[in-house]
Chain A
Amino acid sequence: MDLRLSELQELLRANAQEFFEREVTFERIREIEAADTPDTQLWEQMVQLGWTSLPIAEQYGGQGGTLLDTSILVNEACRVALPSPFTSTLIGAAAVQAHGSEDVKNSLLPRLADGVAISSAVLESDDAIYGDPQTTSDGSTVSGEKRFVEFGATSDVHLVTATRNGSQGIAVVSRDQAGVELSPVQTIGAIPQVHVRYDGAAVEGWIEGAEAVDGLRDLGTALTAFEAYAYAQKALDLTVEYVQLRVQFGQPLGAFQAVQMRCADMATIVEGSRFLANELLWKLDQGEATRRDVAMVKAITSKMAPQVLQDCHMLHGGIGYMQEYDLHFFTRRGKEASLRWGSAREAMNVVVDTAFA
């Protein structure tokens, strides 16, 4: 066991940090939020850096990196609060790679690796109230509704969980067609997203099996838990820095015991979450993650992140509450990540179900 980054991973991390800090100012984040659509120039640059091909196997035009490798990039993107389809594309690529037929892999993975296609995984149908879309019996079209599809308006490909002749699977659907109807939805995280109606939309490929759907869910859930951790960590880092700079009563805030105890409590649960979120991705890389592992980490991070974020605001006082200051980006994104791919309640139910099973 060695929990340190390898030399190569550290290089990747340092490069990513340097790139994001240089390119992604908070002014730019504000512009991206106002436009409610991802920044294509940034995406091109990330493609040029080889980041989209990192998680894809070499035979499909990628570099054969692991999830854990790629999460280094996710982490750095979270640390500048960048709304980017990078994670949703990673989720899609990893799911296709793990469960797709050769045909599907050959048609999709090289495009995702080259960054010419961006994917959205559309599992969520809001607690299954709306049900899974049904594909027609010949599997050539899909109909139904999915909610909260991140980057769904700009992604080239939607990976739509559906049923076909009573069995579950994932339909590969290209977004740019008449049967795909989008309506935007505003949420706390300000990540561009849409509700989608598929109305006889043509299906490009089909990934068969409940296992594929579960695999997609595990990937989405694990990476989102990782994001929730990353936003909380960044907010905590900002806070620890701020309480050393801000002076009241002739002392830095960080010298007051009440402030220290709050910081220490936050640091403890964030440290635990960091280990767990990374360990989970490692388990997925090893093919060893169970449903319970995934739900456990999601439950922990979904509970942890909002509490840490709110306490970071408490310690910042007025300045942290201003839009001109940058803390709120992490606060809003972190809260949304804690709701996405299973809130704490949903994940806790899985944890208890598996305990009593």
Chain B
Amino acid sequence: MDYEMPAEVLEFRKQVQDFITSHRTPELEAELAEHHIHGYGPASQAFMQAMAREGLAAVSWPEEYGGQGKGALFLWTLAEECAREGVPFDNLTFISVGPMIMRNGTEEQKQEILPKVLRGEMNFALGYTEPNAGTDLASMQTRATRDGDEWVINGQKIYTSSAHLATHVWLAARTEPEAPKHRGISTFVLPLNTPGITVRPLWVMGEGRTNETFWEDVRIPADSLIGEENRGWYIVSGALDLERVAIGTYRPLEKTVSDMVEHIKAERPELADDAFARNAVADALMRVEVARALATNNAAMVHSGLIPTMEASMGKIWTTDSRERVNDAFMDLLGRSGGMQAENGDAPLDGALDAAWRGAPVGRFGGGTNDIQRRIIANRGLGLPR
């Protein structure tokens, strides 16, 4: 047993931090401040492209696909640093979709897609959820029908985040309506500018936007299919497992807690003597510590070639529930000032508490809701009967 973070990972962390410092342009700052209104814009895209070009984003990809072949601790470090600093990182493309294409694509598809992803020229929106298929994702109804050399897609997806920004979509659709629901789904990659796709914005309670997407006779070449026809459910499940590890990032929470401690010291010293405030800050620090444990445990498991199942669920539940609890408690400590929004200029923690509190729900129900994660822990992890 060895709890020491490898020196090479620490060097990589430094490299990431340096990258962030040198690429954090005023344009990027301005755009991120407006992020909740417009979503990622050109400066953010440029930042993510630079990160891809410099080989940071694909650090854990195998060397044969242009990566550095480094273990999961590296990718995790990258995701955590970006999350902490609030800079964009296209984690779904690099953590989830890219690896799924490597595992399931044909040689031609990999040659076509992966280098473009590495150069930051191709990135993905995820088209899984439908109005009637959320937690019960396998009941999706969007159809892909084979017509000669083409697939024809018809249907509707919802919460297709970044569909207004990404170049491509990683799409799951029903290819065999007669089969049991898990056995009639396939996965595709196609450009978002294909005729027949309509993207409509959905503004959210937290920051930013997502989209509704409508698919009307969208024709794509036969080789847009990734993996075996009708085996897409297993690919999507694998991609979602990888995504979950990404949602469990704990460092934004850690930053909130340390910023709050500094805020109290500088602006509200009387709170350091308030029993309830002390309790809330202690609870927050303890929550961060457990979150660090669960997240590091996951990353270390993947790094050693193990596959976390219930461990990933534990990290995801703990971090997202804690994000809600801690931000809620901190707002309460500050009283009315705790409800001030970033627009005010003089809001405590630059309005981060309000923003995180409004954004908290999506962490708890997104990427497989927390109650479903609890079932995964009970059934798959602890072996309790279904």
User: A residues bordering B, Cβ < 8 Å?
Assistant: 124, 126-127, 147-148, 185-189, 247-249, 258-259, 262, 302, 306-307, 310, 313-314, 316-318, 320-324, 328, 331-332, 335-336, 338-340, 342-346, 348-349, 352
Given A339-B336, A344-B332; 10 other pairs, CB 8 A cutoff: A127-B270, A127-B335, A148-B336, A187-B336, A320-B205, A323-B204, A323-B205, A339-B331, A339-B338, A345-B335
Count: A-B pairs, CB below 8 Å: 134
Distance between B335 CB and nearest chain A CB, rounded to angstroms: 5
Q: Is B337 among interface residues, defined by CB-CB distance under 8 A?
A: yes
Contacts of A307 in B (CB 8 A): 328
Query: B361 and A322: CB pair below 8 A?
Result: no
Q: What residues of A have a CB within 8 angstroms of the CB of B362 in the complex? A: 318, 321
Instruction: Assess A126 versus B205: contact at CB under 8 Å? Given A310-B361, A314-B365, A318-B159.
Output: no
Specify which of B205, B332, B364 is in contact with A302 (CB 8 Å cutoff).
Answer: B332
A188 near B361: Cβ-Cβ < 8 Å: no
> Is residue B369 contacting chain A, with contact meaning CB distance below 8 A?
yes
| Interface segment out of the listed B115-123, B218-226, B352-360 | B352-360
Let me know if B280 and A317 touch, CB within 8 A.
Answer: no
B312 within 8 A of A: no
Q: Say if the beta carbon of B45 comes within 8 Å of chain A.
A: no
- When the two chains form the complex, which single residue of A187, A335, A346, A349 contacts B340, counting CB atoms closer than 8 Å? A187
12 contacts between A and B (CB under 8 A): A188-B357, A188-B358, A248-B136, A258-B371, A314-B365, A322-B203, A331-B358, A332-B205, A339-B331, A343-B333, A345-B332, A348-B276
> In the complex the two chains form, is A147's CB within 8 Å of B336's CB?
yes
B17 at the interface (CB under 8 A from A): no
B→A interface (CB under 8 Å) = 129, 132, 134-136, 139, 158-159, 202-206, 268, 270, 274-277, 280, 324, 328, 331-341, 343-344, 354, 357-358, 360-362, 364-366, 369-371, 374-375
A324 / chain B contacts, CB cutoff of 8 Å: 202-203
* A310 touching B332, Cβ below 8 Å: no
Question: With A186-B340, A343-B338 known to touch, is A318 a contact of B358 (CB < 8 Å)?
Answer: no
Inter-chain contact B129/A314, CB cutoff 8 Å: no
Chain A residue numbers with a CB within 8 Å of B339 are: 187-189, 335-336, 339
Q: Check B333–A345 contact: CB distance below 8 A.
A: yes
Point out the residues of chain B lying under 8 angstroms from A338, CB to CB. Answer: 332
The CB with the most chain B CB atoms within 10 A, among A188, A320, A328, is that of: A188
Report whether B332 and A343 are in contact in the complex, using a CB–CB cutoff of 8 Å: yes
A333 smallest CB distance to B (angstroms):
11
Q: Are B335 and A310 in contact (CB under 8 A)?
A: no
Q: How far is the CB of B203 from chain A (nearest CB, A)?
A: 4
Find chain A residues with CB under 8 A from B335 CB: 126-127, 339, 342-343, 345-346
Closest beta carbon of chain A to B369's beta carbon, Å: 7
Assess the B274–A188 pair: CB atoms within 8 A: no
Q: Which residues does chain B contribute within 8 Å of A339, judged by CB atoms?
A: 331-332, 335-336, 338-339
Known interface pairs A127-B335, A339-B331. Does A314 touch B357 (Cβ–Cβ under 8 Å)?
no
Residue picked from B159, B205, B274, B331, most chain A C-beta under 10 Å? B205
In the complex, are the beta carbons of A317 and B277 less than 8 A apart?
A: no
Chain B residues with CB under 8 A of A332: 205, 358
Min Cβ gap B172→A in Å is 16
Q: How far is the CB of B353 from chain A (nearest CB, A)?
A: 9
Closest to A313 in B: B361
Closest partner residue, chain B, to A184 (CB atom): B344
Residue of B with least CB distance to A320: B361
A357 CA / B190 CA spacing, docked (Å): 70
- B284 CB to nearest A CB, Å: 13
Q: Judging by beta carbons under 8 Å apart, are A322 and B336 in contact?
A: no
A122 to chain B, nearest CB (A): 12
Bound Cα distance A339, B134 (Å): 34
Inter-chain CA distance A292–B277, complex, in Å, is 20
Closest B residue, CB atoms, query A317: B365
| Known contacts A187-B340, A187-B341, A345-B333; A321 and B205 CB within 8 A of each other | yes
Which residues of A have CB within 8 Å of B280?
A: 345
Q: Which of B132, B334, B337, B366 has the most CB of A within 10 A?
A: B337
- Which residues of chain A are near B336, meaning CB under 8 Å? 124, 126, 147-148, 187, 339-340, 343
Among all A-B residue pairs, the 4 with the closest Cβ atoms: A313-B361, A248-B136, A328-B205, A323-B203
Q: Which of A189, A331, A340, A345 has the most CB of B within 10 A?
A: A345
**Nearest chain B residue, comparing its CB with the CB of A340:** B336
Give the docked Cα–Cα distance between A346 and B274 (Å).
10
Distance in Å: Cβ of A157 to nearest Cβ of chain B = 21
